[in-house]
Amino acid sequence: MDATASTPARPPSSEPPRHSAVRSLLRLWPFVRPVRARLFTAAAVAVIASCISLVIPLVLKWIVDGPVAAGAPGGVWLGGGFLLFLGVAEAGLFGLRRWLVARPLAGVEAALRERLYARLQRLPVSFHDRWASGQLLSRATTDLQLLRMFLAFPLTFLLVNGATILVGCAILLTQRFSLGLMLLAPVVPLMILCSVFEAKYALAARRALDQVGDLTTVIEESVLGIRIVKGFGRHRSQARMFRRLTHELRTTELRKARLLAVIWGFITLLPELAIGAALVLGTVQVADGALSAGTLVAFLSTALALRWPVDSIGFLLAMSNEAAMATDRYFEVLDAPLAEASDPSPGPRATADDTDGSGPCSGSGDSGGLVFSGVEFRYPDAPGDAPPTLCGVDLRIASGETMALVGATGSGKTTLTALVPRLYDPTGGRITLDGRDLTALSRDEVRGLVSVAFEEPTLFSATVAENVLMGGADLQEADLRRALAVAQADGFVSALPQGPHTQVGEQGMSLSGGQRQRLALARAVAGRPRFLILDDPLSALDVHTEALVEAALRQVLATTTALIVAHRPSTVLLADRVALLSGGRIAAVGTHHQLLRDNAEYAGLMSGTDPVTAGSVPRPRGTSGGTR
């Protein structure tokens, strides 16, 4: 099957446990509470405005039974003026309701979006490995728009229309009890129909929202990977997949429309039949003299005034169910555990007083610098019977020392370096920075001590200066110039239209791969970190630029403790010692020349003539990708 035509991965929580829409929507209360006074006031104003419409039939009854029956035109004009006043008052009150809810609901939506974004920043990398980005984007856009619409309209009018129907039914029963009972006859079957509709519509609404997330993922991947799509001529297969997902969403939306049409049809038909029967019976009673014409006019006017509150029930229930599903999807992210942020992290771990490590792999003692003691790591989505990616990693990097990390593809090098800034936490053993257990430090402390540059350089839609100065707090212009000089990026940056203040575009695609990599390296060294982690930082550079960067980088490495993932001898020579990672363990440690002489696997990796793959540890394939 074509890889580009696969269905986007759904989040693991795409099939949540079913519970009532009311229970889901009540979770929004903490966000609504700060503006509850204005919302309650707006609801009260809307109820008053809606009930005004029920006064109009009473005025009509007075006009018909009074001035019209008595032939007094003056009374008719008085009644008409009063009706005009009621209409203007109703319109003014509904306008006031809109004004009352506009500003607070915009604030509620902003608070929901800010809370979601903050949570996404705090959630562990393993969460983002499992979730498609389009599913997260749709929750921050489409779902929040549905919630704002629910708070602005259905939430208020479910209350308003409910109160209007109750008051209207009381008026109908008061005017003519027998006719009122006839109009209330459809209530029970409508309640049963609405219950069935709600259950079916909720499932369709959830499916549609998840499918919107799938579409968002495809669009995002197609835009970000447009060079690959065009370079391999895959635009047709991408278009086919997009059409397939669009067709699935269209099918779901049509099912929602059919459900809504059925319920709306019954909600309209049954009351109309009741009104028709009441009209016939009322006309007969007027003809027999048992009912005044004004009472019949008022009765029918009141019944017609209740048509919109009754007819809107299906529409409001549909919007409420969509909002409930959007709320469930929103809180799936907020409820996701901050597993990596907790101390201690899951799995066996040595205590701060241990000196030999614990867990399934033996460890070594602590000292200054960066120490791995019996470190074990297994990815969260790994099968239970799969071997851990890292097992028994014991490595000591002395303070001020630079260690190169070498290994075959899939041996776990990137995984090991990701543990130091706590992108993941070890599932066994421990890591210490200058003798302090990594999990005993707050994440802010860790990120203040450790700086990283990844193999795939990531830049943001910001200026060069803003991208580089992300590497530390309170950095100044001098730090920017120094970092650019170390990365040999000052030359091409100064040639940009606005120099370091030039926007680099989304993902830095306006720059070459080597330029992006040098800016990522500049970002890593800008804050003068205590510990520096570099994952193959020079892979995209030409030989001449690489030599210049290495010469400048040596000065930085002399003042920090560094771990560098290396694949080329030129990068290895930056290090004081080299560690060979094989089979998830440290197989050998020594200088470059010692390992070339004494270790065949290392010699093969450096020469490129004997690609050793026995040391690779399979990374389970799931939604988070392949081997690391």
Q: Which residues contact 203 (CB under 8 A, 6 or more apart)?
A: none
**Same-domain check for residues 217 and 313:** yes
pLDDT single digits (tens) 429-449: 999 999 899 888 887 788 888
What is the rounded distance in angstroms from the CA atom of residue 214 to the CA atom of residue 12? 14
Question: Which of 337, 352, 383 corresponds to the end of one domain?
Answer: 337
CATH code for position 319? 1.20.1560.10
**Same-domain check for residues 173 and 257:** yes
The answer to whether position 527 is within a domain reads yes
What does the pLDDT read at residue 346? 37
**Same-domain check for residues 238 and 382:** no
**Same-domain check for residues 244 and 377:** no
Radius of gyration of the chain (CA): 35
Q: Bridge-partner residues for 564, per DSSP? A: 404, 534
What is the rounded distance in angstroms from the CA atom of residue 264 to the CA atom of residue 456? 54
The answer to whether position 613 is within a domain reads no
**Same-domain check for residues 392 and 328:** no
The answer to whether position 620 is within a domain reads no
The residue type found at 351 is T
The answer to whether position 616 is within a domain reads no
Provide the residue range defining the domain that includes 523: 370-607
- Parts of the chain with a pLDDT under 70: 1-19, 69-71, 227, 232, 339-367, 507, 608-628
**Same-domain check for residues 103 and 184:** yes
**Same-domain check for residues 251 and 375:** no
CB atoms inside a 10 Å sphere around CB 114: 10
pLDDT single digits (tens) 456-512: 788 888 888 988 888 777 788 888 999 999 888 888 899 888 988 988 877 677 788
The answer to whether position 332 is within a domain reads yes
**Same-domain check for residues 21 and 96:** yes
Rounded to the nearest 5 degrees, what angle is found at the Cα of 415, between the Cα atoms of 409 and 421? 145
**Same-domain check for residues 530 and 593:** yes
**Same-domain check for residues 294 and 375:** no
What does the pLDDT read at residue 8? 57
Taking a C-beta distance cutoff of 8 angstroms, is the pair 360, 391 a contact?
yes
Residues in the chain: 628
337, 339, 340, 345 alpha-carbon torsion, rounded to 10°: 170
Q: How many domains does the chain have?
A: 2
The answer to whether position 359 is within a domain reads no
Run of H or E residues at 370: strand 370-377
**Same-domain check for residues 455 and 555:** yes
**Same-domain check for residues 474 and 532:** yes
The answer to whether position 355 is within a domain reads no
CATH code for position 544? 3.40.50.300
The answer to whether position 344 is within a domain reads no
